[in-house]
Amino acid sequence: MIAMRHIIIPLVPMLTVIALSPSISSQAAQKSIDKATVSVTTDENPTVEIELINFLNAFAAAYKKGSAEEYITFYSTTAIENGLNSLDKIKANYLKDIMSNTITAYEFEIYEIKNFERYSIIDVAYNKVSVNKSNGENYNINGDIRIKVVKGQGFKIETIDYDRYIKNEYVIGPEDIIEISVWKSPDLSNAMIVRSDGMISLPLIGEIKAKGRTTKELKEVIEQRLEEYKQDPVVSVIVKEANSQAIYIMGEVARPGKYLLRSELRMLQALSLAGGFTPGANKDNIIILRKSLINPEGKRMRVRYSDIISGKNPEANILIRPGDTILLQPY
């Protein structure tokens, strides 16, 4: 995998409200869209990443346009959606959507790009605003997508997974305790704390960035570096203590405070961890604050509990990310 750094790259507008009621007007939904820049993980030569962003912008524009033939050209012939849908099923689902709805907005906000030799993995949040053709109701759907884009003569989507179909691996961060074992080399094996700068130090190979990598990715980097000193090194990486990924649940919940994010967690599960609502909680005015490099104070996202429970907008039960603050407001 290519070494990475952070840059700021302009991207399409992104909706700042997570769970709008389906009764909200399309005009009001559009007013909530702000122009922004997006923090993207990239390598020292950002050309490929800029090309990928342009590819995703074109993909989103094709989805909004409503042309199935144009939309499907962004996929490889062997593409799979949500681990099971083939290209024909992807096209059929899209045709069903555009027959029932007029799509008025479809945008991506990129969280991360990871580049490998033959492909890239891109994590994005999506926002979709549509109008039902039969009853005129407006719908706003938000969620997460993980896209695998293969490189060749241009880019093609090989896999695309939405929301609950995304398989999340733990990402190492500062203060995590990890154990690194090198087969038949006890002198190179050790448990250590990831420093505040995200780095660790190992014998022979020195400094390595652990922050932002999964255990599998860190294992591969260490094995690559050790090849200069050992033939066919075999490395294992285990997270012994996950201390870096925390969320904060505040306000009208039974047990407000800081909670470690040890596995995939959605908003309703997070509220359950905090003991649920107090009698004074305004369940339809849940605020999620999400920080980023471009918005260090946190972007405010409003969620309506009743929309999730009623099935009106189940996608509002969003995936909680490290650093999120969930605020339950009183009536």
Contact 11, 32 (CB under 8 A): no
Q: How confident is the model at residue 192 (pLDDT cuts 50, 70, 90)?
A: very high
- Rounded Cα distance between 123 and 108, Å, is 10
As a whole-number percent, the residues of the chain with pLDDT over 90 amount to 55
Q: How confident is the model at residue 12 (pLDDT cuts 50, 70, 90)?
A: very low
Does the pLDDT of residue 237 top 50, yes or no? yes
Length of the chain: 331
Query: What does pTM read for this prediction?
Result: 0.61
Question: What pLDDT is stored for residue 112 in this prediction?
Answer: 77
Q: How confident is the model at residue 295 (pLDDT cuts 50, 70, 90)?
A: low
Contact 95, 70 (CB under 8 A): no
Does the pLDDT of residue 101 top 50, yes or no? yes
Q: How confident is the model at residue 183 (pLDDT cuts 50, 70, 90)?
A: very high
Question: What pLDDT is stored for residue 22 in this prediction?
Answer: 33
113-167 pLDDT, tens digit per residue, is 888 778 899 888 888 899 999 999 888 887 789 999 998 878 999 999 998 788 7
Q: How confident is the model at residue 323 (pLDDT cuts 50, 70, 90)?
A: confident
62: Cβ–Cβ under 8 A, 6 or more apart, which residues? 70, 71, 73, 74
Q: How confident is the model at residue 31 (pLDDT cuts 50, 70, 90)?
A: very low
As a whole-number percent, the residues of the chain with pLDDT over 70 amount to 84
Question: What pLDDT is stored for residue 113 in this prediction?
Answer: 83
Question: What pLDDT is stored for residue 50 in this prediction?
Answer: 87
201-226 pLDDT, tens digit per residue, is 999 999 999 988 889 989 999 999 99
Going by C-alpha positions, the residue among 163, 158, 192, 15 that lies closest to residue 76 is 158
Distances (CA, A) of 233 to 3, 162, 209, 221: 21, 36, 19, 11
Q: How confident is the model at residue 27 (pLDDT cuts 50, 70, 90)?
A: very low
- Rounded Cα distance between 270 and 275, Å, is 9
Angle at 90 between CA 89 and CA 94, to 5 degrees: 110
Q: Tell me the domains of the chain and their CATH numbers.
A: 5-165 (3.10.450.50), 179-241 (3.30.1950.10), 246-330 (3.10.560.10)
Q: How confident is the model at residue 40 (pLDDT cuts 50, 70, 90)?
A: very low
Give the CB-side neighbour count of residue 306, counting CA atoms within 13 A.
Answer: 8
- Rounded Cα distance between 140 and 127, Å, is 7
Average pLDDT (98-125) is: 87
Does the pLDDT of residue 36 top 60, yes or no? no
- Residue with more model confidence, 135 or 293: 135
Strands 257-260 and 154-162: unpaired
Does the pLDDT of residue 293 top 60, yes or no? no
Distances (CA, A) of 243 to 171, 227, 260, 305: 11, 31, 7, 29
Lowest mean pLDDT among 192-206, 290-304, 307-321: 290-304
Does the pLDDT of residue 30 top 70, yes or no? no
Q: Residues of 95-115 as b/e, b for ≥16 C-beta within 10 angstroms?
A: eeebeebebbbbbbbbbbbbb
Mean pLDDT in the chain?
82
- Rounded Cα distance between 245 and 180, Å, is 20
Cα Rg for the chain, rounded, in angstroms? 22
One-letter-per-residue 3-state SS of 22-79: CCCCHHHHHHCEECCEEEEEECCCCHHHHHHHHHHHHHHHHHHHCCHHHHHCCEEEEE
